Structure 1
């Protein structure tokens, strides 16, 4: 996210308590929570149906180039549509945008879990043959932190408070290791200090000595992991990660101390109240997509080692049950 889109500056809409964290928000989340929005449904060519696609919250300058090939493919393959990408400020901005009909398509598990009746699900995202990704905890190579229990008394950087890989899974595993997570993610932790921003900023806080370690998702973390640590990766990561080709390509160089089990990648969905024949056509194009078909839309400088999308796989709410269980365990009520 850019400097004006940090979740710790803008806050998260709704009433926050330890056992009931409202995922919704209000009208303010719609206008303030979508980076670069303005009037979403207005403007553009009147001869085409204007469709807004909400990307997973993150840094707009990083996300838009990664998803541009799939948007270009949809605009080319589906007649009469003009699909525009928007980057939500945080996860709690997505549901209000859908409910107020300022967006048609989204792609995150938190919103789907919070109200599955609001969406028609297209499927689970697949990249490079894998429908899974990982949460990873990273520290500087020289750190004395070797495992989860060593996080006690340290300062830790997380992504968005509602990020599955950048917050929820990490808090759950720290809790399972015996640490008191206090009011986190909705308030201060107990046995450690924490900050919540986004995936990129979490890494930068470690680089700037503002945190002893960070939690992020594998696609963001693996480029920062030194190649010398690859031999120590759990077999599940070697088997199912789509991002191993990016290891050691970015600075700072960090060392992993924990990996999650494979997490199902984000579901793609359309709001149920969107009454358009284009909804089904878009779903068919997404489900029939392939790397070969998408490569036609790759710009010359596209990073094919870090694709955002290849195709969709059939999914159900049961696929995301492990996420629901961990949300409940750390005090987030997904149905609220």
Structure 2
């Protein structure tokens, strides 16, 4: 039976990691360590109903615009993380923006659908999975110049799994994933399992025959896999796993990872920090990075100014003026124009899984 780890108390005690979140780049700025990649903190108590009354906007006044963002990792203050960009948009478009974190990708899309937010950052998978009448794409978030990122499936070196096919031979093994709608944390890992001959059934919309899935976030997926012997493997974005994987392992799986992924320079940099090296079982093909979106029926003259500010924001709009913790650094360094056609590769993943995304949302 699948499990969803969303209990705030259980997440709070963990050391905050960061997730630049499945998006890496190379823009002139120094490479960040794996710690600079995070979306938002998971809050199991933050239901969609709670989004109707967001707490104070960053500008200190009643918010003109609601911005909702979904978590990829636990332990991050989203308002601190996004402050530079939000303050820039507020200044350029003369608006006030309130930010609110949601408990997951599904809740974020639901908030947009129900008119509870004007702008949002969503998973790449939300694009082919969501009716175009719900949101329009403003642009694709890029990190240090890269518009693509990778998904991984990892395990420990003392695990009974040496290759993905081994999972089918074990008795009721558990496998960790991120949010059910996460591309790099769930959908791509599920697709890689399918390609390896593992029976995933109609997961993540149901329980797979060959293993028991646990859904949480990228950080929790990694942490619990290391901590618990019954969890034999875990799917997560390379932004989360790479610091515990030596570069040589990536080289063995892909000739392009070193050139495309911003995680490559930091690969292996945290081995021995929290735990030993992870074994890389599978590495995906490149995945288009996550977009910023606007509610499709948002009809306000200020919308054009807000979107223009996002697409033309200077480097400084993505950097804090003051020193902040690494996990509070914004994971992306720019937003470039994009449309739904840029996310067609995600549809191939959905087709490979033979799932109906609407059922998940």
Q: Do they superpose with TM above 0.5? A: yes
The worse-fitting range, judged by mean Cα deviation, of 211-220 and 313-322 is: 313-322
* TM-score (normalised: structure 2): 0.75
2:220 to 187, 201, 205: 201
1:51 to 1:41, Cα distance in 2 relative to 1, 3 A: farther
1:217-259 deviation digits (Å, cap 9, x = unpaired): 1111212324664554523221111223443325333121211
Matches within 5 A, 1:27-46: 32-34=46-48, 37=51, 39-40=53-54
CA distance in 1, matches of 2:59, 2:249: 51
1:58-137 equivalences under 5 Å are 58-59=72-73, 61-62=75-76, 64=78, 65-79=80-94, 81-108=95-122, 109-113=124-128, 114-137=130-153
CA distance in 2, matches of 1:186, 1:118: 21
Q: CA deviation at 1:216?
A: 0.4
Residue 322, structure 1, aligned to residue 345, structure 2: yes
Q: Once the two structures are superposed, what CA deviation does each residue of 1:166-194 show, in whole Å capped at 9, x if it has no partner?
A: 11111111112211112421222112232
* 1:160-309 equivalences in 2 (<5 Å): 160-209=179-228, 210-226=230-246, 229=249, 231-232=251-252, 234-247=254-267, 248-249=269-270, 250-252=273-275, 253-295=277-319, 297-301=320-324, 303=326, 307-309=330-332
Q: Mean Cα displacement is larger for which, 166-175 or 81-90?
A: 81-90
Higher alpha-carbon deviation: 299-308 or 193-202 = 299-308
Q: Over residues 65-122 of structure 1, what are the superposed CA-to-partner deviations in whole Å (9 max), with x where a residue is unaligned?
A: 433332232233331x222222221222123211222111112233332112222211
Query: Equivalent residue for 2:158?
Result: 142
Shift of the 129–45 alpha-carbon distance from structure 1 to 2, 3 Å rule, reads closer
Residue 230 to residue 203, structure 1, CA distance change in 2 (3 Å): same
**Cα separation, 1, equivalents of 2:248 and 2:344:** 35
Deviation at 1:196?
Answer: 1.4
Partner Cα distance (2:145, 2:289) in 1: 12
Q: How many residues align?
A: 310
Aligned to 1:15: none
Give the TM-score taking structure 1 as reference length. 0.81
Residues 39 and 304 of structure 1: CA distance in aligned 2, closer, same or farther (over 3 Å)? closer
Change (3 A) 1:66 1:227: farther
Unaligned runs of 5+ in 2: 11-44
Contact 1:264 1:319 in 2 (8 A): yes
Shift of 1:47: 6.2
Give the secondary structure class of the aligned counterpart of 1:329: helix
Deviation at 1:48, TM superposition (A): 5.6
Residue segments in structure 1 that go unaligned for 5+ positions in a row: 7-30
Cα drift, residue 159 of structure 1? 0.9
When structure 1 is superposed on structure 2, of 249-258 and 280-289 the one drifting more is: 249-258
Residue 59 of structure 1 and its aligned partner are, at CA, apart by 3.7
- 3-state SS, counterpart of residue 221 of structure 1: helix
Partner of 2:27: none
- The alignment partner of 2:145 has SS state of coil
| Residue number in structure 2 paired with 1:50 | 64
